[in-house]
Structure formats: C-alpha cells, structure tokens
Structure 1
Amino acid sequence: MDLDLKAVKQQLRSRIMEERKAIPDKRRSALSAQACSYLEQLEELKNARAIMAFHPFGAELDILPFVDQARARGQEVWLPLTLTAEKRLVPYRYSGPEMLKQGVYGIWEPDPTRAEKAELSMLDAVLVPGVAFDLRGGRMGYGGGFYDRFLAALPRRPFLVGVAFSMQVVDEVPREPHDIGLDGLVTESGFFQS
C-alpha cells in the first residue's frame, strides 16, 4: 500500500473514531435501536439460516437487540473469535452471554471451551462492523484485514451488510484490490443498497 493511501486511511479512521466516541450514550442507544429496526426488516436477514454478527465494542452501534431478536426468531447467530497471531476470525454459534469471554482489545467474544464452532457452509448473511463506509459498498475497518481475509476464504458469498451510524458514512472510502465490497449498509436512517 502506498504511504499516501495509508496516511489518508489513518486520518479518516482517527477522525471518525473520535467523532463516534463523542456521541452521547443516550443518543447512541436511540440511534442503535433505530438501526436494529431496519436490520429486522431486511428480507435477506429474515430469510437467513445463519447470520454472523459481532459484539459491539467501544462506541460501535449496538446490534445486540437485533441479535436477540434473530435468536428469538429461531435463527442461528454467530460471533467471531479473533485469532490475532493467525490474523483470522473463527465464528462460533452464539448461545447467550454466558459463552463469552473478554478477548483481544477487550472485545467480548466466544470462549472456545464453552462454544460450538459454526458450520461455514450454512452462512447466509454477515453483519460487518467498520469505521467508515460509503454507499457504493466501500468499507474501512480497523486496519487488521480480518474481515477481508475471512470473507475471501468463504465457500460461497453470503449477503454482506455493513452496520454503522450515519456519521460514519463518507463520500468515498479509499479502496484497495483486496477489499471486499458490501451488498448494502444499515444506519439509523435506513438500508442503502450498494
């Protein structure tokens, strides 16, 4: 990656993370609830057998109400375990908060001793976290490349939807050849198809 692009991404990442952190808790909860209601209405998610989600961390949009609702509908929900040394994500079936442990960066993630590995061939949809998104399927994560590697290795492409506050949407996310585009984005303002 050329240094200019790296610098541009780093500046964008820092700016958006600072602005996102500044959202007051009460407002964050209200915006998260609105975004979850849009997630619940998405046909691609309603019809999914298995959905890989993420446990919100720091100032991320809280998707746990959607996760609980999907489980109540009888859907399988997975959460990823981050293996930093191997630079990869391994999804496990989410059975409730008791199967979680605090992992890398303080993120709650599956405890392999209390969780069942997910069957990748069943994966129909992935809720993808990130720092910045555009409305053309562009996404910028936290810089580790975990999601791009995970998605590139799947046996077939699931429905990929980014989840973020609308303040995380930019005109254009700087993209690289290995970046995997999303099918859409959900914010508190609705669903935007890429």
Structure 2
Amino acid sequence: MVTDPSNIKRALRAELRERRRTRTSVERAAATSGFTSNLEKLVTDTGSTYLSCYLSATHEPNTREFLNWARTRGIRTLFPVAREDGLLDWTRGDGDAEAEGLFGMPEPVGEVLGPMEINDVDLILVPAAAVDTAGVRLGWGRGYFDKTLGSMQKCPPVYALIFDDELLESVPREIHDQPVDGVVTPTRIVTF
C-alpha cells in the first residue's frame, strides 16, 4: 500500500501543532532560555555577522530574546516577509515595530527588500514543525522556505529551530523539500 506523503505530513503537522499549543508557560519560558543560549553559541561558533531569522509567533520556539542579543552585538538580521505568490521578500526591520503578515504571522516593519537579499547572509535560521535525523525538514505546508532555499546558488548553513521532541527518526519527504544542515533545540545544537 502506497501512502501519500502529503497526507502523512498533514496529520503529523496537526499532532505537532497541538503539542506546541498545549506546552505550559513554564515549559515555554525554560525553552526560550535554552534556545537563546544555543543560538548565541551557534552564531558565535560560526562567526556569523549577517543572518536571517524569523519573528516567532506565540507557540513557536521564541526567537525574540536571541534577536535582542544579536542586535546589541551589531549582528545584522534579515527577516522574511511572506508574499501572496509564495515567495519571500526580506526586511531588516527597525528592531521594534512589527505587523501581522500573511497567515497571521508576525513580521517586522521596515523597508521591503527583494527575494535576492537572502543571498548575502552567512547563516539562515528557519522555523519547522519537525526535522529528522537525516536533516529532512517538515515545514508548516506553504513551501516558502523550501522555495527560497532551493533557489539559492550558494546557500550558507541552514538551521531549523525545534523543540527537543520534534527531532524525529524520520519525516515524510517530497521532491521539493529542502534539507537543513542542523537544528537548534532548547538543550542542544545538532549538525547533520
């Protein structure tokens, strides 16, 4: 029996979304501390001076403390801005103001730069629902980051931010899915 990977992905995303939704505020606070520490270590160890990162939504791994740390150290940050055509524009934002973007996701307010701006960063941090031990990333189903990563001629290291229980043995993979080089969790950094 052949099972459609998109149906398996849909069911897995629903389970992971519910798991994130039911994490307690205490669990989220502890995770934020771990994410921040591990992201600081990753950026320091890689020597990154210009990175791409997203503004986290309520139930996602919290990137905001890390972004504050990066800003105080003069690390330039590029943020994704979703477009209706399925591509990402980018902005540097002003560090404070944000608005609700497509699909209700937070986006920084700032000058909108085109899709090619991502080519100048030296580290990319992406959201994910889960990642497997081979680096296959399960996103949330809209394909924005897969399209972006798949179109880059020279892609810097890409790390997904996930909770510890979202690093799985395997996730379904389709031809358009782009792998990541590693994951950052509250307790560790894993490079594949």
Q: TM-score, normalised by structure 1?
A: 0.90
Runs in 1 of length 4+ with deviation above 4 angstroms?
43-46
Residue-pair matches, total? 189
What is the CA–CA distance in structure 2 between the aligned matches of 1:97 and 1:74, rounded to whole Å? 15
Counterpart in the other structure of 1:97: 96
Which residue is 2:136 aligned to?
A: 138
Q: Does 1:115 align with 2:114?
A: no
Aligned to 2:180: 182
What is the deviation of 1:121?
3.5
Deviation at 1:110, TM superposition (A): 3.3
Say if 1:180 and 1:44 are closer, same or farther in 2 by CA, change over 3 A: farther
Give distance in 1, aligned partners of 2:140 and 2:45: 25
SS for the counterpart of 1:97 is: coil
Aligned-pair RMSD on alpha carbons?
Answer: 1.8
Unaligned residue ranges in structure 1 (runs of 5+):
none
- Aligned-partner Cα distance in 1 for 2:43–2:96: 26
Partner secondary structure for residue 167 of structure 1: helix
Q: Which runs of 5+ in 2 are unaligned?
A: none
Distance 2:187 2:149 in 1: 26
Q: What secondary structure, in the 3-state scheme, does the structure 2 residue paired with 1:79 have?
A: strand
Separation (CA, whole Å) in 1 of partners of 2:79 and 2:119 = 15
* Residues in 2 aligned to 1:88 and 1:121: alpha-carbon distance in whole angstroms: 14
Name the CA distance, whole Å, in 1 between partners of 2:10 and 2:190: 25
Q: Who is 2:71 aligned against?
A: 71
